[in-house]
Amino acid sequence: MRRSDFFFIYIDLQSLLSVMSLYSNNSVFFWCWTMQLYMAESGDYPLYSCRNCRNPLAFHSDLLSKTFKAKSGQAYMFSHVMNVVLGKKEDRKMITGMYTVADIFCSNCGRELGWKYVRAFDPSQRFKEGNFIVEKLKLLKEY
**Ordered mean pLDDT values, 10 residues apiece, the chain (143 residues):** 45 51 45 46 75 95 94 94 96 96 96 97 97 96 86
CATH classification of the domain holding 101: 2.170.150.20
Q: Is residue 34 part of a domain?
A: yes
Q: Are 25 and 76 in contact (CB under 8 A)?
A: no
pLDDT of residue 42: 53
Structural domain of 131: 7-142
pLDDT of residue 46: 86
Q: Which residues have CB under 8 Å from 10's CB, separation 6+?
A: 84, 86
Residues 104-131: pLDDT tens digits? 999 999 999 999 999 999 999 999 999 9
pLDDT of residue 43: 56
User: What predicted TM-score, i.e. pTM, was given to this entire model?
Assistant: 0.71
The CA distance from 9 to 86, in Å, is 10
Q: Is residue 122 part of a domain?
A: yes
